[in-house]
């Protein structure tokens, strides 16, 4: 049993209340994609890692627990294959007492290693979205079969088009998804204007490291919450 943290619980409650009030969530039957929360950790100079492919811990213990609490309140968590190869994450809620979300990996050419840590989870295996245009002419169907035998569900789709990605996930029963990174995926989501809510952990340091590219947006009713030494900035996204 993980020790509960009142400050994290209060922030999670605040976010859940805010997210439930988002206008597009009011009519669930009209939704064609999941609710999308974008959440990652960055330094004050906008770095999300020291350099590409370098695992870099940016969050303190409390903000890590907060991230895990967010995971527990979404149906799925999405990262790109770059993050799987760099960090070998398990994408679980290990520092929060809650269910693990389904892991979703964007991985055009099925580079996910068969011994990736995300297969060591008690919850259903990951959904791996790969590029359908390779499906007929390469060895990918064989690779997909190998990954499926490890517990994955490999789906061929237009993985470069996030609208298609999210509607495919919605068709597979995912109503809410937490997008965590890395830089390329964050950039794609921002460029496609496909985040409903943001929860960014800002660590009080600079790295001059690996950054995402932004988009023009503002936060509605922004929240500034301190957890340990970190600042968590939250709000509904207003695209501009
Ligand atoms: N600070 C944080 O909160 C945080 C969180 C997560 C990761 N990270 C860091 O981020 C770094 C990894 O970032 P990264 O940019 O190299 O990799 P990434 O964003 O995790 O994955 C990018 C890859 O995903 C695949 N992809 C498939 N469809 C895509 C789509 N529609 N949009 C975007 N990508 C798509 C592409 O590879 P294919 O063409 O092969 O499919 C692409 O190169 C690591 O250093 C990791 O530690 C930091």
Instruction: Give percent of the chain with pLDDT exceeding 90.
Output: 78
Q: Distance, CA 161 to ligand 1 centroid (Å)?
A: 15
Instruction: Give 16 or 113, the one with higher predicted confidence.
Output: 113
Average pLDDT over residues 196-221: 95
Residue to mutate, 185, 191, 212, 232, ligand 1, most ligand atoms under 8 Å from C-beta? 185
Instruction: State pLDDT tens for residues 19-62.
Output: 888 876 666 667 899 999 999 999 999 999 999 988 899 999 99
Residue 168 CA, ligand 1 centroid: distance in Å = 19
Residue 221, by phi and psi: left (phi above 0), alpha (psi -120 to 50) or beta? left
Q: Which two tokens stand for residue 129?
A: 């979205």
* Percent of the chain residues topping a pLDDT of 70: 95
Fold held by 6-12+30-239: Dihydrofolate Reductase, subunit A (3.40.430)
Q: Give residue 1's pLDDT.
A: 56
Domain positions in the chain: 6-12+30-239
Minimum CA distance residue for ligand 1 atom 8: 182
Chain mean position to CA 11: 18
Tens digits of residue pLDDT in 140-188:
888 999 999 999 999 999 999 999 999 999 999 999 999 999 999 999 9
């Amino acid at each position: 049993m993980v020790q509960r943290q009142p400050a994290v619980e209060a922030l999670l409650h605040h976010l859940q209340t805010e997210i439930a009030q988002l206008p597009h969530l009011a009519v669930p039957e009209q939704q064609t994609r999941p609710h999308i929360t974008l959440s990652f950790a960055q330094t004050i100079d906008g770095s999300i890692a020291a350099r590409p492919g370098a695992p870099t811990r940016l969050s303190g213990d409390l903000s890590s627990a907060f991230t895990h609490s967010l995971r527990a309140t979404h149906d799925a968590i999405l990262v790109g294959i770059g993050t799987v190869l760099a960090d070998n994450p398990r994408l679980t809620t290990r520092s929060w007492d809650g269910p693990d979300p389904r892991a979703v990996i964007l991985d055009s050419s099925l580079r996910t290693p068969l011994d990736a840590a995300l297969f060591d989870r008690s919850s259903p295996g990951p959904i791996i979205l790969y590029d359908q245009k390779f499906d007929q002419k390469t060895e990918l169907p064989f690779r997909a079969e190998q990954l499926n035998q490890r517990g994955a569900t490999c789906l061929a789709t237009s993985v470069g088009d996030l609208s298609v990605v999210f509607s495919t996930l919605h068709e597979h029963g995912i109503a809410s998804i937490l997008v965590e990174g890395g830089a390329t995926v964050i950039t794609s989501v921002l460029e496609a204007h496909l985040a409903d809510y943001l929860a960014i952990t800002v660590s009080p340091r600079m790295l001059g490291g690996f950054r995402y590219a932004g988009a023009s947006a503002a936060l509605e009713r922004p929240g500034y919450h301190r957890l340990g030494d970190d600042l968590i900035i939250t709000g509904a996204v207003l695209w501009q």
